[in-house]
Structure formats: structure tokens, C-alpha cells
Amino acid sequence: MQITSPEFKQNARAALADPNLQKALRHVRSNFIDKRAKAAGALPEFEALRDNARDIKNHTLAHLDLYLEAYEDRVRQAGGEVHYAETAETARDIIRSICERAGAKTVTKGKSMIAEEINLNDYLEEHGITPVETDLGEYIIQLRHEPPSHIIAPAVHLTREQVEESFRKSHTDLAPDRDLTEPTELLAEARAKLRERFLAADVGITGANFLVAETGTSVIVTNEGNGDLTQILPRVHIVIASIEKITPTLNDVSQIMRLLARSATGQDMSVYTTFSTGPRRPEDPDGPDEYHVVILDNGRTGMLGSDFQEALRCIRCGACMNHCPVYHAIGGHAYGWVYPGPIGAVLDPQLIGVDKAGNLPNASTFCGRCEAVCPMRIPLPNMMRHWREREFERHLSPAVARYGIGFWAFFARRPRLYQWATRLAMRVLANRAIGKGRYTSLPLAGGWTKYRDFPAPEGRTFQEQWSARRKAS
Amino acid sequence: MVGAEEGVVSDREVILGKIRRALAADGNDVGRRAIVIARLEGTPRGIIPERGQLPQEERVALFTTMAEKVSATVGRIAALEDVPRAVAEFLRKHNLPASLRIGADPLLADLAWDGTQIAVSHGPSDGGDPVGLSHAVAGIAESGTLVLTSGPDNPTTLNFLPETHIVVIRAADIAGDYETVWDEVRETYGKGHMPRTVNMVTGPSRSADIEQTLLLGAHGPRRLHIVVVG
Ligand code: SF4
């Protein structure tokens, strides 16, 4: 996708002023947090599993080269092919050449953040291959030519009305006066439309939540079943995954699986967890004839042995953004690249460059909620701090940001920008205090909140209220 | 092989080399290799939740509760020969077509469908079958999960294309946790080997992509009915 991270500030401003987005974001705040808390609370071993999952991934990363080799051997033994890609460009080339050899016209796709990362859809289209997203959320945003705004709920920024509008615009063969007021009707329409595409596709491309070294298996986790139809119906199945998806054994996967759905959606288990090993066997009546795995680096080896190594434990559950007051206020698009929220603020500067995404780690209140809920115990706020320090050292931050006093002077000379910045802060603070109206801790105000609760802003700044009153009178 | 293949080989070496440099590790280090082999062979179980560690009857009860919690329906019958009657009853009750697609599973092969007026056909699904019937090799009480394996006995397409999926499972095959099922898979297929597909299925298909509203029947079956035998 196109990178707009350098315009983070403008993006955030636009997001705050977008009524549809603000309406849609309410669902994030109200839904994900309670569900996760309930599911985690119902499993007494949850915290111990988090420790074990962290240890499993640390062990894997320390032996990543050897587990990759073991994994690769097993895939080959099962009749599959493994392709390594150091860069996005190589990954795209490999996928295109497999598609071309298969004579592919249409390709169905399960949800894959790696495919977003390497900009696969645009590339395939440029080469005359039509990609069809099959996850409902991904399908909706593909119709709208938008990137995903969340790593597990790609269309979370949209309202039902916007989805209806997109379906009417795209599905022009259906009766224009059909009733689409209920979400079930929208789902039924998408299901029927995509059924045709599933059965017609030549190649299916999925991501992977895990690659299992013990057996050479790729694992996908979905609720819809779209990933399964994507990989069992076409003649060729391509898996695209990054190096850190390697997990030693099926037991290790099961340990982490117990955290994934609970942290993501508050389910004990997602509906479909599918383990795929190689192409169809001689006696199999269904399944793909060819099975390929493309393993992508794209900058991740640069995180090994660095301050950011621990971020490679991430299982992309989305909990950090679901609990992030900044994400609640501005949504995912404002971050300007594939990974939004706290994990995006850590990954994006590494993957697309600190010159482009170096300002994302500034969008943090250091409230620590992301780290508190991250199932893999990734110290996200610390890592954001590391990026800030690096940015400072590289003198990439505007000179005024280097000293607090310069910061205020900068805003004092730019009243409109000041208004925007305080509005953002107010919104963030007001969201954080949902239902409480009080904080017990505030970043950078420890001296105050240590002894008393800080009152939650009512949601509007003094300047806003002042001008509203002036207009009213 | 196509031209890209040359690049593929070198990308492999570049990536492995970068990893080894970053970790200051040696790919031939015998000690490191031994650690990796020990884990792959030893397959440590980790932390197993107490929840599923129950005697069989209670395990079946937990499995049922958990499956119903995620909107599956569960029926229980005493013996295998009761399957046709139980299936016919379910289809009638929900006003579903009396038409069934089944694989070649020996457990389901000798059932007498004659008395049920259900039209039974065999093989994988091409999308035209309203109801699929499968046999799950295992269940997991902890989360109400079914485990199905690919092959002619239970074609994978039956798990996803029909609108209604009915799954037969023997009570004795319901385990407490995933790890126990993996032990059985290792025993059946050999260490390090798997059938092409293992599907863990927990409830019928769903999506919450429109305003976070949970809707059943996204791309997979709208209905999942489980028949526990024994
Ligand atoms: S950083 Fe942690 S909470 Fe965020 S997506 Fe990754 S695993 Fe989930």
C-alpha cells in the first residue's frame, strides 16, 4: 500500500474530523476490550501461558536459522516447495512466476498482512492477474480501494451504511431496490458473490499464523472459512509468510493458540484452525496439486540482535491497538502503512524506514496498556522510546521538539496547530477515561496523579468552548 | 526451473547468513543443533489447562457445553447404527433438504439409510451439496473443537462447502486438550508427518466484519451439528 506515514499529523487531524470513522471506532472501544478481559479471565492458566509463549518464541528466535532449515526439509518431504525472499520485490516475482506457470487469471486470497506489506494486489493486477479478497472485511475494502485499518478487522473503520453503499455500487447485476438494511443481508450477498469466485480461481494465496518446523505445516486461523475455501479449491496453493512465523512444534503452536483468539476477539478458539502440509496426496479427492511457501524477510533479520528483537514475537492478534487510546481516537489509516497501533509504531520504522515512519512512535501516551495486554509480553512502550531516542540522535525530529520549551514556543506561534494537537490529546484522554471521568494515572503527570485523580477532560478544549459560546451569543 | 530460482537459492543463503550474523551463531554448532533436535523430538507439552483434564463422561459434558457456547448443536446416541435416524431427525426438525454427501469413511460406510428417505451420495463436494456428513477423528473438550483429517474418507471440501455440516464423533475420541490429539496424530502418521490437512473446527462459520456484529454463516457452513456416539 501507498505510504502516508510521513503525513501522520495531517492524517490524524483528518481522522478526528471524520464523523463516519468516529462512529465506527466506537465499536472498537466497546467490543474488543470487554471480550478479551472476559476470555482471559476465564482461563486460570492464561498468565502462565503468556510466559510460556514468550519463552517459546525467544527460544525459536535464538535458533531461527536451524528451525527454518528443519521446516524447509519437512515441506520438501511432503512434496511442497519453499522459496525464500529477502525483499518484497523478490516475493512478488516468485508469486507472479508461480501464477503465470499455472496460467492463472484469477487468484483468491485469504487475509494476509504480508500480502499487504508487499503490495501484492496492485502488482498482480499490473500483470493481468485479478486478485479477489475473500475475507469479508478485506472484500469490502477491496471494493472501496482502501487499505485495511486494523490487522484483524480490516474494515473496522466503516459503518454499515458505507458497506451497503459499496455493495450497491459494485454489485450492479443485482436488483437496485433490494433490501440491504440488515447486516445479515450484506453477508448473504457477499457470500453468494464470493462463492462464484472461489470455484473459479486458479490459484489461492493465504498467509500463515504459524509455520511448524516439526512437520513442515502452515497454519491459518479464521472465523469465516474463507481461507480454507481459498486453499482447497484452486489447483495451486501459495502461502506467504515472514521468517518469524516459524514455531518449533505442534504443541508449541497449541500453547500460543490458546492466547491468540482470546487476545484478538475474546473467543476461546477461532472457528477454523487449519494445518496444511504439502499438496494433495495421491489418494486425496480434493486439495491443491501444488503447494508453495514463500518466506519473506523484508527487514526482519535487521531486528534480530537489536533493541527490537522482541517485537518478532508478535502473533498479530491486534490486542495492542484494541486497547490503545491513540488508535481509538484516530483509527488505523492515519498511521499511513500496513501495521497501525502500538505494534505498527514499533514495526513500521524498521520495515519502511525511520525517515518515513519515525513520527509514529511519538503517538503514544505511554499509558502502558498495550504491553499489559500483549499476549507475547512485548515491551511496546519501551521500544517506542527506543525509536524516539534514535530519531533524536539522528536529528530527524524537528529542532523544536528537542526541548520542551521549544515545543510550546512552536505551538504558540501556530495557534491552529495548537488547537489540533490539544484536541487530539483531549480526545485521547476523554476516551481513556471511558465511564470513569477520572484517571488514576497520567503519563508525564505522575507528580500530580500520585496523590489525586486527574479529572477527565470533558472532551472539548477551552478554546473550542470559547469560540462555540461566542458563536452562540 | 524458471530464472527466479537462482535468486531463490541465494536469497535463502542471504537470509540464513543474516540471521546467523545477528545472533552471532554458527549454523554448524553441534550444541545448538542438539537443542533444536531435542525440542523437535521431545515435543514438550507446556502448560495444559486444568479445564479439560476430566474423566471421560465429564469430558464429553464439557465438550458439549463448549460446542454449544459457540452455536453448534450437539446430540448424543448410544450406538453407531442410530446415526441415520439421528441425522434424519435433525434434518426434519430444521426443515433441511433430505440429501447427504459423505466420504468413504468405514465408520459411516455401512450405515443403513434406506429407512430414512435421505438421498445419499459419496465423494468430495463441488458446492452443490446442501448437507455434508463427516467423521471427526477427535474432539477437544477444552474448547468444544472437532478435529477432521483430509483424505478419501472425509474430503476436506465437505467441511466447508455445504450449508449444513453434520459431524459424527465417538465419545471415546474426545480428548481433554490439543496436545493429546497431537500425540495420536504422531502415532498414526509417524513422527514429523501429517495428513495433507488437519481441520480444527469450533462452531459454525461466522464474521464480525460489519460493525462488529457477529453473524453466523460467512463462507463456511451456517449450521454445525455434532452427533456424539457412545
Ligand atoms: S504486539 Fe502483542 S498485542 Fe500487538 S498484535 Fe503483536 S502480539 Fe498482539
- What number is the average pLDDT over the span A72-94? 98
Q: How confident is the model at residue A2 (pLDDT cuts 50, 70, 90)?
A: confident
**A74 & A204 share domain:** yes
Q: Which residues of B touch A43 (CB under 8 A)?
A: 49, 51
Using CB atoms, which residue from B11, B192, B218 is nearest to A74? Answer: B192
Which triple of cell numbers denotes residue B80? 453407531
- Distances in Å between the Cα of B84 and the Cα atoms of A78, B18, B67, B90, B226 are 37, 59, 22, 10, 13
Which triple of cell numbers denotes residue B87? 441425522
A283 falls within a domain:
yes
CA B99 from chain center: how many Å?
23
- Compute the mean pLDDT over every residue in chain B, rounded to the nearest whole number: 94
Rounded to 10 degrees, the C-alpha dihedral A130/A131/A133/A138 comes to -100
Kindly give the number of the ligand 1 atom that is closest to the alpha carbon of A318: 5
Alpha-carbon distance of A279 to A282, in angstroms, equals 9
- Compute the mean pLDDT over every residue in chain A, rounded to the nearest whole number: 87
Task: Check pocket membership of A346 for ligand 1, CB cut-off 6 A.
Answer: no
> Which pLDDT belongs to residue A439?
43
A275 falls within a domain:
yes
State pLDDT tens for residues A368-385. 999 999 999 999 999 999
Closest CA relative to residue A167, chosen from A182, A152, A157: A182
State pLDDT tens for residues A422-473. 666 666 655 554 444 344 444 444 433 433 334 444 445 544 554 555 555 4
**A111 & A244 share domain:** yes
Alpha-carbon distance of A259 to A267, in angstroms, equals 10
**A297 & A420 share domain:** no
Domain parsing of chain B, residue ranges: 2-42, 50-229
Range of the domain at A433: 415-472
Does residue A185 sit in helix, strand or coil? helix
Half-sphere exposure of A285 (CA within 13 A, CB side): 18
**A425 & A296 share domain:** no
How far, in Å, from the CA of A382 to the mean position of ligand 1?
Answer: 14
A391 falls within a domain:
no
State pLDDT tens for residues A286-310. 999 999 999 999 999 999 999 999 9
Bridge partners of A362, per DSSP, are: none
Q: Which CATH class is domain B50-229?
A: alpha beta
Alpha-carbon distance of B57 to A255, in angstroms, equals 25
Q: For a substitution probing ligand 1, which of A244, A310, A315 has the most ligand atoms within 8 Å of its CB?
A: A315
Q: What is the DSSP letter of B29?
A: -
- Kindly tell me the sign of the dihedral angle through the C-alpha atoms of A252, A258, A262, A268: positive
Given A280, A301, A322, the domain boundary residue is A301
Rounded to 10 degrees, the C-alpha dihedral A102/A108/A112/A116 comes to 80
A380 falls within a domain:
no
Contact state of B218 with A225 under an 8 Å Cβ cutoff? yes
Share of chain A above pLDDT 90, in %: 74
Q: Which of residues 405-444 of A touch B (CB under 8 A)?
A: none
Q: Does A192 touch chain B (CB under 8 A)?
A: no
Contact state of A153 with B202 under an 8 Å Cβ cutoff? no
Q: Which of residues 143-172 of B touch A (CB under 8 A)?
A: 143-145, 150-152, 155-157, 159-161
State pLDDT tens for residues A104-147. 999 999 999 999 999 999 999 999 999 999 999 999 999 999 98
> Which pLDDT belongs to residue B27?
87
Given A237, A267, A301, the domain boundary residue is A301
Contact state of A213 with B179 under an 8 Å Cβ cutoff? no
Contact state of A31 with B212 under an 8 Å Cβ cutoff? yes
Residue A201's identity, in one-letter code, is A
Q: Which of residues 73-102 of A touch B (CB under 8 A)?
A: 74, 78, 83-86, 90, 93-94, 97, 101
Residues of chain B with pLDDT under 70: 1-9
For ligand 1, atom 8, which residue shows the shortest CA distance?
A: A317
Q: How many CB atoms lie within 10 A of CB A181?
A: 10
Residue A187's identity, in one-letter code, is L
Chain A nearest CA to B23, separation (Å):
6
Chain A nearest CA to B205, separation (Å):
5
Contact state of A271 with B204 under an 8 Å Cβ cutoff? yes
- What number is the average pLDDT over the span A204-227? 97
Q: Does A58 touch chain B (CB under 8 A)?
A: no
> Which pLDDT belongs to residue A34?
92
Domain count, chain A: 2
Does residue A27 sit in helix, strand or coil? helix
Q: How many CB atoms lie within 10 A of CB A183?
A: 20
State pLDDT tens for residues B27-85. 899 999 999 999 999 999 999 999 999 999 999 999 999 999 999 999 999 999 999 99
- What number is the average pLDDT over the span A389-413? 56
- Kindly tell me the sign of the dihedral angle through the C-alpha atoms of B69, B71, B72, B74: positive
A386 falls within a domain:
no
Q: For a substitution probing ligand 1, which of A312, A343, A373, A384 has the most ligand atoms within 8 Å of its CB?
A: A343
Q: Where are the beta strands (DSSP E) in A226-333?
A: 236-242, 246-247, 272-276, 290-296
Using CB atoms, which residue from B15, B203, B209 is nearest to A136? Answer: B209
Q: What is the DSSP letter of A177?
A: T
Under 8 Å CB-to-CB from B81, ≥6 apart: which residues?
A: B111, B112
**A297 & A430 share domain:** no
Contact state of B23 with A64 under an 8 Å Cβ cutoff? yes
Does residue A431 sit in helix, strand or coil? helix
Share of chain B above pLDDT 90, in %: 89
> Which pLDDT belongs to residue B131?
97
**Main-chain phi, psi angles of A241, to 5 degrees:** -150, 155
Task: Check pocket membership of A152 for ligand 1, CB cut-off 6 A.
Answer: no
**Main-chain phi, psi angles of B78, to 5 degrees:** -80, -40
Are B142 and B51 spatial neighbours (Cβ–Cβ below 8 Å)?
A: yes
> Which pLDDT belongs to residue A443?
44
Q: Please spell the DSSP secondary structure of B35-77, one letter per residue.
A: HHHHHHHH----PPPGGG---HHHHHHHHHHHHHHTT-EEEEE
A469: left (phi over 0), alpha (psi -120 to 50) or beta: alpha
Kindly give the number of the ligand 1 atom that is closest to the alpha carbon of A317: 8
Q: For a substitution probing ligand 1, which of A245, A247, A317, A369 has the most ligand atoms within 8 Å of its CB?
A: A317
Q: Could you tell me the strand order of the sheet in which B73-77 lies?
A: B73-77, B223-229, B164-170, B131-135, B99-102, B119-122
Does residue A268 sit in helix, strand or coil? coil
- Distances in Å between the Cα of A25 and the Cα atoms of A266, A318, A322, B93 are 18, 14, 10, 41
